[in-house]
């Protein structure tokens, strides 16, 4: 049995509203609200980095679990916006938290589904050896998006979420995880510059290519709805649990219209679907653990509740996880 021992999260203080964006690019509150449901998002302060966000979320989760740095046996960080190119953000986090020399690794590039993939990896590691694994999902996207591309810049925000997982009993049991990938869709949502195919050059930096997130929005939208609903149903079927038993669905928060369409396709009541995209925008791999932490903190999850998480992102990757509180 794999348990979640503690939940945590962190959002930076700086609020960036739709009107703030309208003062920078050719957009307005009405377009952003009707097309995405986003009203505002949080941006990290200039002196904050991915590591700072990760640390604050990790400390909340460790406190909630009643554990300190010496109790952590392994650290996984899911992020597409790491602290540095190398080494992994997780090793820097191990040092920052003052943990022992335990193994660490990042799960990078999996976009918004990365954190659910990371808890699946942690689950397998715990089954192999009883360990307490810290699993963080973090993005500091505001520093890597183009501040000139209205089609992408208004969508994202910065945040971190975390859990500590371990064997035995805890606050929730991780019942199962299902994930999948369609690598043929890699070009539909991608940031190309910086890898070996397109290394950084003076010209690419001058052209802002390192911030050029390419996204075919409507194709991503359609696939997100299709994959998140299908993988959620597949998971419930595997667990032999009807949808009516789900107390709360926490979907990836990219766009309120995507969330509504997933809810509609599943036929789940609106009040059982968690939403915070209006306040934080799309925070990539942080949306699901952040939503989980908020729902838990707000008392929206009660003992005995079946909670289902689902996410979709670049890759394309998709995943669903079920937790029994
Ligand atoms: O987390 C996984 C990654 N991302 C996603 O899941 C995002 C999935 N996609 C979406 O959420 C939506 O496709 C978007 C919100 C990105 C776009 O919404 P849409 O309804 O698909 O709009 P569109 O891309 O078809 O654009 C419609 C129009 C275009 O103008 P024209 O060509 O019709 O004249 C855009 O240029 O809206 C224009 N537009 C904007 N207008 C004002 C695009 N961005 C903006 C903007 N403000 N910020």
pLDDT at 106 over 90: yes
For the record, the structure tokens of 133 come out as 């694994």
pLDDT at 211 over 90: no
- Sequence-distant (≥ 6) Cβ neighbours of residue 219 within 8 angstroms: 185, 188
Q: Would you state the pLDDT for residue 223?
A: 97
pLDDT at 212 over 90: no
Coil, strand or helix: which one is 106? strand
Average pLDDT over residues 118-132: 97
- In this prediction, residue 251 has a pLDDT band, given cuts at 50, 70 and 90, of very high
Q: Would you state the pLDDT for residue 76?
A: 98
Q: Around 7, how many Cα atoms within 13 Å sit in the side-chain half-sphere?
A: 20
Q: Is the dihedral of CA 157, 82, 119, 191 positive or negative?
A: positive
pLDDT at 110 over 90: no
Q: Which of 16, 153, 188, 217 to mutate to test the pocket of ligand 1 (most atoms within 8 A of CB)?
A: 217
Query: pLDDT for 135-186, tens place per residue?
Result: 999 999 999 999 999 999 999 999 999 999 999 999 999 999 999 999 999 9
Average pLDDT over residues 102-125: 96
Q: Would you state the pLDDT for residue 48?
A: 98
**DSSP characters over 156-209:** B--EEEEEEEEES--SEEEEEEEEEE-GGGGGGEE--TTSSSS---HHHHHHTG
CA 196 to CA 200: how far, in whole Å? 9
Candidate CATH numbers 3.30.200.20, 3.40.47.10, 3.30.70.360, 3.30.230.10; the one for domain 175-324:
3.40.47.10
pLDDT at 93 over 90: yes
Query: pLDDT for 186-206, tens place per residue?
Result: 999 999 888 899 988 999 989
pTM summary value: 0.97
CA torsion 83→87→91→93, rounded to 10°?
A: -10
- What amino acid positions are annotated as catalytic residues? 112, 252, 282
Query: What mean pLDDT value characterizes the chain?
Result: 97
For residue 219, report the distance from its CA to the centre of ligand 1, in Å. Answer: 11
For residue 128, report the distance from its CA to the centre of ligand 1, in Å. Answer: 44
Query: What residue segments make up the domains of the chain, in order of their start?
Result: 2-170, 175-324
**CATH 3.40.47.10 is right for the domain spanning 2-170:** yes
CA 200 to CA 110: how far, in whole Å? 21
Q: Would you state the pLDDT for residue 134?
A: 98
Q: Would you state the pLDDT for residue 250?
A: 98
Domain 175-324 in the same topology as domain 2-170: yes
For residue 281, report the distance from its CA to the centre of ligand 1, in Å. Answer: 14
């Amino acid at each position: 049995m794999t348990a979640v021992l503690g939940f945590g999260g962190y959002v930076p203080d700086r609020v960036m509203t739709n009107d703030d964006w309208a003062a920078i690019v050719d957009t307005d509150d009405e377009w952003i609200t009707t097309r995405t449901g986003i009203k505002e998002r949080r941006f990290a302060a200039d002196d904050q980095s991915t590591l700072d966000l990760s640390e604050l979320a990790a400390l909340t989760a460790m406190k909630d679990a009643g554990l300190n740095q010496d109790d952590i046996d392994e650290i996984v960080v899911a992020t597409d916006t790491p602290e540095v190119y190398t080494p992994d953000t997780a090793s820097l986090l191990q040092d920052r938290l003052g943990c022992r020399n335990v193994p660490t690794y990042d799960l990078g590039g999996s976009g918004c589904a990365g954190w659910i993939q990371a808890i699946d990896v942690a689950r397998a590691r715990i089954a192999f050896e009883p360990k307490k694994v810290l699993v963080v999902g973090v993005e500091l996207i505001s520093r890597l998006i183009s501040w000139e591309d209205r089609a992408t810049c208004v969508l994202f925000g910065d945040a971190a979420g975390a859990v500590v997982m371990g064997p035995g009993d805890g606050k929730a049991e991780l019942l199962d995880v299902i994930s999948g990938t369609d690598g043929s869709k890699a070009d539909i949502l991608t940031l190309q510059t910086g890898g070996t195919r397109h290394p950084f050059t003076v010209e690419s930096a001058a052209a802002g290519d390192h911030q050029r997130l390419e996204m075919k929005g409507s194709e991503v939208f359609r696939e997100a709805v299709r994959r998140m609903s299908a993988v959620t149903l597949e998971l419930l079927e595997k667990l032999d649990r009807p949808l009516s038993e789900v107390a709360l669905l926490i979907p990836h928060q990219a766009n309120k219209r995507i969330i509504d369409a997933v809810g509609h396709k599943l036929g789940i009541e609106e009040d059982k679907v968690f939403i915070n995209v209006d306040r934080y925008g799309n925070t990539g791999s942080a949306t699901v653990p952040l939503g989980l932490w908020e729902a838990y903190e707000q008392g929206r999850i009660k003992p005995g509740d079946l909670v289902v998480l689902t996410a979709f992102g670049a890759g394309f990757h998709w995943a669903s996880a079920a937790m029994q509180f």
